[in-house]
Amino acid sequence: MPKPDALRAARERWRALLGEHGVLDAEAAQADYGADTLGVERAIGGALRLREAAQVAPVVRIAAEFGVALHPISTGRNWGYGSALPVCAYAVILDLSGLQRILDFDAELGVVTLEPGVTQAMLADFLDRERHPFLVPVTGAGPQCSLIGNALERGYGITPQADHVGALTDLEAVLADGSRYRTALREAGGEDLARLHRWGIGPYSTGLFTQSGLGIVTRASLLLARRPERIEALFFGLREERLLEPAVERLRGLLQRLPGLLGGVNLMNRRRVLAMTAPHPSAGLNAQGLMPERLLAELGRQYQVAPWTGFATLYGSRALVRAAHGEIRQALRGLASRLVFLAPERATTLAQLARVLPGGGGRRLATTLGTLARSLELVAGRPNETALALCYWGHGRAPQGPGLDPARDGCGLRWYSPLVPMRPAQVRAYVDMVERVASAHGIEPLITLTSLGERLFDSTVPLLFQLDQPEACAAAARCQTELVAAGRELGCFPYRVGIDGMADLLARQQDARRFQARLRAAFDPQGILAPGRYADQPITGSAEP
C-alpha cells in the first residue's frame, strides 16, 4: 500500500496534469468502479480519467516517482472476470475509455488502428457511416466493450476473424518508467508494413503485452474480415444426448474440409439455450433451485429446444455457400434434426411474422425467433446485447440505467472458460463433469462449446448466482475452484482467469512463474503496472497492509 503522503502528492501532480475532474479520490473511485459480478471486494486507491493518449506517459512517471500502483482498464466491462477491479488492493484505476480515436483505416486492405476506448459500437458506426464493407470483430459482451481490451485478453468471437488476438498486428505501449514501446518493424520498416504483418521482425515482443501488466497499450492495429457476398447461419438439433460424441467428430471433419468458409461452430446444451430464449421458471424447480430433467424436457418441448443445439456460420460467395449446404447435410445425416440454413435478413422477417401469431405457442415462437434474429446480427458483424442478457437470467433484476451492465445491476456472474480438445470422448467427460460439479453447488450447468479452429473448443460456462446472498457468492466461488481442478484432471484448463483466480493459476506454475518474475523485474521493478496480473504480486507497489 502506498504511503498516504505519497498518494496525496501524486494526486496533486495528476490534478495539475488532468484537471480536477480527471482525478478521483478513493471514495469516489470506489463508488464509480467498485461494482462487480464476482462477489469479491477490492479497496481502490483512486481513479484517473484520461482524454488523450499523450497523458499516459506523464501519468505513469508520476506513479513511478511516488510508488503508486496503477490498474489500467479499457472500458472496465470485464464482467465475470473482475469488471474494473484490480487484482491487488489499493491500486489506482487508470481509465482509458476516453481514448476513442480511430487513428487510421486502410479501406483497401481492411486494417484499422484505434485507441483502447473505441468500442464495438463505435467501430460499427464508423464502418456503416463510411460504407466500408468489413465486419466488426464482435463478442457476446456487447456493443460498449473495448476492441483492444478484448484482443489483449485473447478474446474471440464468431465472425471469420474469430481469433481477436490473432488479428492484432502493430501496437504501441507505455512502459512502467514512462518510456514508449514500438514494434521493430514499425520503427525500421515503416508503419504501413507493421500494420499488415503480425510477427514483425526480430524477437516477437508484441505478445508480451497480452494478458500481462508489462505495459499500457495506447493504440493497436487490427485486421478486419471483409463482408462476404453471402452470410448464412446453420442450425440443427441433437435429439438425444448420446449423439453429442459423433456430432463432435463430424463437425471437426467439416471444419477441416471447409476452412474459411465455415466459421465458428457452437454446441449449446438445452439449459444454455433455454436461458437465452425462455424466462426463468418460477415453479417446478428441485430443492437446489435447479431445473430437474422432467421440467427441462417439458420446457424443451414448449420452446422446441433439443438436448443439444448446433449453431454455425457460413461466409463466402453465394455459389460457395450453396455448395457447402450439400457437404454439411451429408456430414450430419442421421445426427442432426431440423437442419436449417438461414440468412440474417430472413430471420428478421420470420421474427416479425411470428409476433402476430396467437396464443402462448405463438408468443414462445416469437421469443425464440427474436433471439435468433438478434444472434444472427452478431454473426453478420453487428454488435448487440443479445448474449449479454443471459447474465440477468434468474436474478429477477432489471437494468438500472441505459444498456445492460451486469456489474451495475447487481448480477452474480463468474465465467469458467476452459479449452477443451475436440476429441469426442474428452468432450463427453468434460460435459459430464460440468453437469455434476455445477449441480452439486446449486448452479445450472449452462454449457457452450465454441470451435477455435479444427482441433479445440473453448467452452464458456456462466456461473449465475444471487450476488446479494453471501452463501450463494461463496458457493459460486467454490464451484469455480472445483471446476478448474476437475477440468485440469481431464486435460481441460481455462484460457483466462478472473482477478481472484490469479493466485491459484500461479500456484500451478514453476518455470513459467520464474520467467514472468524476470520479465516483471526488468520491465517494472517497482510493481507499478497492474500488480498481480498473471504474475506474482511485487513486494513494492500495491500490497495490502
Question: Among candidates 484, 438, 488, which has minimal Cα distance to 464?
Answer: 438
Q: Which three cell numbers stand for residue 441?
A: 453447488
| Number of helical (H) and strand (E) elements in the chain, helices listed first | 17, 18
Closest C-alpha among 376, 403, 408 to residue 388? 403
Residue 484 CA to residue 504 CA, distance in Å, equals: 10
pLDDT of residue 373: 66
Specify the residue for cell string 481441460: 492
Residue carrying C-alpha cell 474471440: 156
Residue 378 CA, distance from chain mean position: 14
DSSP 8-state assignment for residue 102: E
In this predicted structure, what is the pLDDT of residue 544?
39
Which residue, among 112, 114, 119, 124, has the nearest Cα to 141 in the 3D structure?
A: 119
Could you tell me whether strands 111-114 and 216-223 are parallel, antiparallel, or unpaired per DSSP bridges? antiparallel
Cβ 311 vs Cβ 340: under 8 Å: no
| pLDDT at residue 149, rounded to an integer | 97
Q: Return the pLDDT at 264.
A: 85
Extended beta strands in 374-417, E state? 411-416
Block means of pLDDT (10 residues each) for the chain, 545 residues, are 84 97 97 96 96 98 96 96 96 98 97 98 96 94 95 89 90 97 96 96 95 97 95 94 98 95 94 93 93 96 94 94 96 94 71 57 59 75 89 86 92 98 98 98 97 95 96 97 98 97 94 94 95 80 39
Contacts of 430 (CB under 8 A, 6+ apart): 418, 420, 459, 487, 490, 492
Exposed/middle/buried for 136, CB within 10 Å: 0-12, 13-18, 19+? buried
Distant-in-sequence, close-in-space partners of 495: CB < 8 Å, separation ≥ 6 = 154, 417, 418, 419, 458
**Dihedral of CA 238/242/243/244: which sign?**
positive
Closest by alpha carbon to 500, among 83, 183, 155? 83
Enumerate long-range contacts of 159-163, CB under 8 Å, 24 or more apart.
159/135, 159/225, 159/263, 159/313, 159/315, 159/379, 159/381, 160/135, 160/225, 160/228, 160/260, 160/263, 160/315, 161/135, 161/137, 161/223, 161/224, 161/225, 162/263, 162/264, 162/452, 163/452
